[in-house]
Amino acid sequence: MDQTPGYHGRYLRIDLSSGISKSVSLEASFLRKYLGGSGLGVALLMKEGTATVEPLSPEAAIAFVFSPLVGSPLTTSAKFAVVSKSPLTQRINDSLASSGFALTGKKTGHDAIVLVGRASRPSVLVIDNDQVRLEPTEDLRGCSNPETQKKLRSRFGADFQIATIGPAGERLVRFSTISHDGRHAGRGGSGAVLGSKNIKAIAVRGTQRVQWSDQLALVRLAKELSEKSFGPATAKYRELGTASNLLTFNRLNVLPTRNFQQGSFQGASAISSEELGAVRNRTRASCAACTIGCEHLYSLKSGVPVRLEYESLFALGPLCGIDDSEIVLIASQRCDAAGLDTISSGGTIGFAMECAERGLIDAPWLRFGDGNALLRALDLMVSGEGLGQLLAMGSRAMAMEIGHDSIEFAPQVKGLELPGYDPRGLQMMALGFAVGARGADHNRSGAYEVDFSEAVDRRNVGPESAHLAVETEDRAALMDSLILCKFLRGVFVDFFHESADILRLVTGWDVTAAELRETAQRIVTEKKRFNILAGWTPSEDTLPTRMLQTAIPEDARSSLSTDRLASLIKAYNLARGWSEEGWLPEAEQCTL
């Protein structure tokens, strides 16, 4: 059978316990159903039975998944998904990262790399085309991500691309990341999953390329897309970076501040991208094969440049009451080096700060606004010393330990800490957070786009608009499976149609927009099915009690009742064709 262009038609399955690896073929029909990235990843994890096992056990699989677009000339397509069961949420977790690891990983001749088992000692997994081996890495124990990548690059040479975990992943911090070239598969603790397998790093090298169905037309289309990517739809990302959201959100009183006790922050101007750009050196960077280049780096006083995005800025700044930009940059740099998800780190520390202020934990040093306390808490999180053990569990597990109803103000859904959008003032996003398969998440649901439009009154969203959240979630599922960067989404007029055009040129399939809509829905449903097998119940589709019982203090109209959220969730479930509570129709319950 001829190979489908864009794919190798196989994945590499490595059992780290036995040392046995094998190539497993992937049928074209299966690929067409799940595409790649997140979609293919969740389907492979379902095949492995990972939903019902402990995420940090040897039986749990973790998948590094490429996509049909990886390696093509399409801008922002050099991405890979890391899919596993999250040790933070016990639910599906898919996180994406970019660059050379995606390009070279696919050139090993596989559409995905699936790891199961546990290496007998800390190791680097080397995948050199079809050759697989484990090399001991005792010498790298405790090394930061940049150090590890530097040492392994000099050990293996520049034609290897390397993904690593930092000390946080080694210590199984439940929200540790996997890092590659300064970018992170960030949310949900995939770093801990890799750490539990005794894998400090994966080094890939490959020479196997895929064909494209219509190379000439694809190059033409890629050129057009690149030209559009220089237009107004991406100007914010190119010229200012996502950090420029801070002042906008602050103005709208939806900037989570001091563990969601406020919606605006007095010190916002001092740490805004505008101020940072005025007083610090700023440089720009981009992922491989990207024409947008949204990454903005600001120099520390020492001159060292640090990447800073909105999510890191809000979580390590206002959420912890910090208005010192030097501290925020140092904190962000420490998270990147250690391999900590910045949102969950800031979210958990902000929560701990409130617990300390209420006298629920014995940590008088941990106060909102104290930059040194933030840095100390981050260090403890990584070392596991003292309070660090609690902090490393994330806010939900921490609240369970502390008791005293602290779960009511733990800033999480399904255990995943909320990103920088106060859901009381962005109620379509509130729905997206509540029903999100991986928890409170702004990447798998782009529902905030609806809040920032005329389509709804963001502070009074009704169930008749729930289908708009479905639409943004489906679009995200398709983007994460094709894979294309979300920051490109503004350049598409009709994303499903244009994606079908792209996929036709890549694969030769006679795919249509309608088919891709179905594919996106199938992927969202597959994640739900995973979660149901993992123990999901309707009660977890909700928001922290604080969000449902108090308005944002600066804006009384930004309040969301339990009843209204319930009506939104019910409408969302029905719009998906699920039961009112969110169960799948019986026929779809447990099939793959």
- Is the bond preceding residue 483 a cis peptide, omega within 30 degrees? yes
Q: Which is nearer to ligand SF4, 298 or 530 (CB)?
A: 298
Within 387-446, the residues that bind other proteins by CB under 8 A are 442, 446
- Rounded distance between C-alpha atoms, residue 135 and residue 561, angstroms: 55
The least distance separating other proteins from the CB of residue 263, rounded to whole angstroms, comes to 11
Q: Do 83 and 44 contact (CB within 8 A), yes or no?
A: yes
Residue 448 touches which member of ligand SF4, other proteins, none, C-beta under 5-8 Å by kind: other proteins
Q: Which is nearer to ligand SF4, 284 or 467 (CB)?
A: 284
97-127: burial string, b at 16+ Cβ within 10 Å, e else: bbbbbbbbbbbbbbbbbbbbbbbeebbbbbb
Torsions phi, psi of 25, nearest 5?
-75, 150
Residue 251 touches which member of other proteins, ligand SF4, none, C-beta under 5-8 Å by kind: other proteins
Cα of 23 vs its chain's centroid, Å: 28
Q: Decide if residue 380 touches other proteins (CB under 8 A).
A: no
Residue 178 touches which member of other proteins, ligand SF4, none, C-beta under 5-8 Å by kind: none
The least distance separating other proteins from the CB of residue 265, rounded to whole angstroms, comes to 15
Q: Decide if residue 184 touches other proteins (CB under 8 A).
A: no
What are the DSSP calls for 412-476, one per residue?
Answer: EETTEEP-S--TTT-HHHHHHHHH-TTSS-SSS--THHHHTSTTS-TTS--GGGHHHHHHHHHHH
**Interface with ligand SF4 (CB under 6 A):** 76, 98, 237, 286-287, 290, 292-295, 485, 487
What are the DSSP calls for 350-395, one per residue?
Answer: HHHHHHHHTTSSS-TT--TT-HHHHHHHHHHHHH--TTHHHHTT-H
Q: Which residue in this structure is represented by tokens 């040897």?
A: 58
Residue 287 touches which member of ligand SF4, other proteins, none, C-beta under 5-8 Å by kind: ligand SF4
Residue 253 touches which member of other proteins, ligand SF4, none, C-beta under 5-8 Å by kind: other proteins
Question: How far is residue 230 from each of residues 127, 227, 235, 480, 482, measured CA to CA in Å?
Answer: 36, 6, 7, 22, 21
Q: Decide if residue 556 touches other proteins (CB under 8 A).
A: no
Draw the binding track, 222-241, toward other proteins (x: CB under 8 A; -: no contact): ---------xxx-xxx-xx-
The least distance separating ligand SF4 from the CB of residue 135, rounded to whole angstroms, comes to 30
Cα of 326 vs its chain's centroid, Å: 25
For residue 224, the surrounding DSSP H or E stretch is: helix 215-228
Q: Which is nearer to ligand SF4, 484 or 500 (CB)?
A: 484
Residue 523 touches which member of ligand SF4, other proteins, none, C-beta under 5-8 Å by kind: none
- Rounded distance between C-alpha atoms, residue 577 and residue 592, angstroms: 18
Within 243-302, the residues that bind other proteins by CB under 8 A are 243-245, 247-249, 251-253, 274
Q: Which is nearer to ligand SF4, 212 or 237 (CB)?
A: 237
The least distance separating ligand SF4 from the CB of residue 295, rounded to whole angstroms, comes to 5
Q: Decide if residue 449 touches other proteins (CB under 8 A).
A: yes
Instruction: Report helix, strand or coil for 297.
Output: strand
Q: How many CB atoms lie within 10 A of CB 369?
A: 14
* Residue numbers at the binding site for other proteins (CB under 8 A): 231-233, 235-237, 239-240, 242-245, 247-249, 251-253, 274, 309-311, 442, 446, 448-449, 452-454, 457-459, 486-487, 489-490, 557
